[in-house]
Amino acid sequence: MEPFKNIYNKKSIAFIADSIKRQCPSFQDKKFKKYVLKDLEKLELKQRVNLIAEALHETMPYDYKKNIEKLIKTLPSPQEHLDHEWQGELKSMSGFLIWPYCTYVEKYGLEEFETSLEAMLEFTQRFSAEFVIRHFINKYESKMFDHLKTWKKHPNHHVRRLVSEGTRPRLPWGISVPYLKENLSRNIQLIKSLRKDPSLYVRRSVANHLNDISHMDPELFFETIESFGTTPEENYIKRHSSRTMLKKAHPRALKLHGYFPVSRPKISFKLSESKIKEGDSLPIKVKVQVEKKQNLLLEYIIYYKKANNDYSEKVFRLRDVKDQNILEFEKNISFKKVSTRKHYPGIHYIQLQLNGVRFPKKKFELLI
């Protein structure tokens, strides 16, 4: 699979330049392409986005308000696609091609509140302004929240999602915003009305926002989701937002979702190999039997060896079933190289967890 950073390549840079040139004749398109392409290949994703934003600043007229008007004119009609569905076709200025526009606002528009507000509203309907908006919340706090309260009712689901996603207290890749962490109840009041939003895209963001809060204030988190109703929309949010608390086997989360202690469990858990190489898989065989039919949440925990010979644990879901008393299956657990985790050679451990109760560990050796 081609690296994601390659969305920004010679062809897409030329497309951006041509799109702007049609709306802004004074735009120095040749200088723009030269500025970007000189260093593009050696940069990672966010560095490429920053470079393109800097190039816009260097090659458009020094009039921020007019530049935003021109950039908005390059956009297609507002879209309802989901960001992850955008395939990168160079048919219009949308999807990830808009990210440098957002970064341009972040870098050069912080003192131009009204103009930047309009830009974020337009850009987010073709991509997402979740990163740039945090800079404005950081500077304009209550003023920005007043606008977000209005945007909750916007007809475009990208805008409604932005209300939740842009204010997440622990947004991945987003700057830390103290205002979003100091009063989590304020966040709840902002996003609570979105819990029944017709768009799954919006509700998923609300669930992720609440999951952030579960890390920081579990009591507030549970008070919030326990106050929700039982509509399909609310049930989705309750479940998806509880994923961290369920992995931690928090009793309140287990009870909320109907996972009660099992009676007289019989567990058969076998590893088909005692040693595996990095890149291979660990075959496991599992049979679980409990006394009566009930909701069962079966997970496994890998204890990964670290460089200092300590261990870090990670919980993975195996089965999640309703009204069952027997589970029996085989599974291959992959230990291929991944960019998000470095493997270290030596003894590792694996353990089953059933409805929050952990059973004895099994050990195996990972060879590098």
pLDDT at 84: 46
Residue 101: both structure tokens together: 């526009």
What are the counts of helices (DSSP H) followed by strands (DSSP E) for the chain? 14, 7
Class of the domain covering 4-255: mainly alpha
Non-local (6+) Cβ contacts of 185 within 8 A are: 220
End-to-end CA distance of the chain: 24
In the predicted model, what is the mean pLDDT of residues 223-251? 97
In the predicted model, what is the mean pLDDT of residues 161-178? 97
Residues 320/269, Cβ–Cβ less than 8 Å:
no
Residues 119/127, Cβ–Cβ less than 8 Å:
no
What whole-number distance in Å separates Cα of residue 203 and Cα of residue 165? Answer: 10
pLDDT of 5-18, one tens digit each? 999 999 999 999 99
The yes-or-no answer to whether 4-255 and 266-367 have a common fold is: no
pLDDT at 82: 55
Question: What homologous superfamily does CATH list for 266-367?
Answer: Immunoglobulins (2.60.40.10)
Measured at the alpha carbon of residue 157, what is the angle toward residues 154 and 159, in degrees to the nearest 5? 60
Query: What's the whole-number average pLDDT of the chain?
Result: 94
pTM of the model: 0.89
Beta strands in the chain (DSSP E): 266-271, 275-277, 281-305, 311-334, 346-354, 357-358, 362-367
Q: Where are the domains of the chain?
A: 4-255, 266-367
- CA 194 vs CA 130, 159, 180, 204, 221: distances in Å: 17, 12, 18, 10, 16
pLDDT of 117-126, one tens digit each? 999 999 999 9
Beta strands in 123-193 (DSSP E): none
pLDDT of 62-115, one tens digit each? 999 999 999 999 999 886 655 544 455 667 788 899 999 999 999 999 999 999
pLDDT at 93: 85
pLDDT of 297-339, one tens digit each? 999 999 999 999 999 999 999 999 999 999 999 999 999 998 8
pLDDT of 193-203, one tens digit each? 999 999 999 99
Sign (positive/negative) of CA torsion 30, 32, 36, 38? positive
Q: How confident is the model at residue 221 (pLDDT cuts 50, 70, 90)?
A: very high
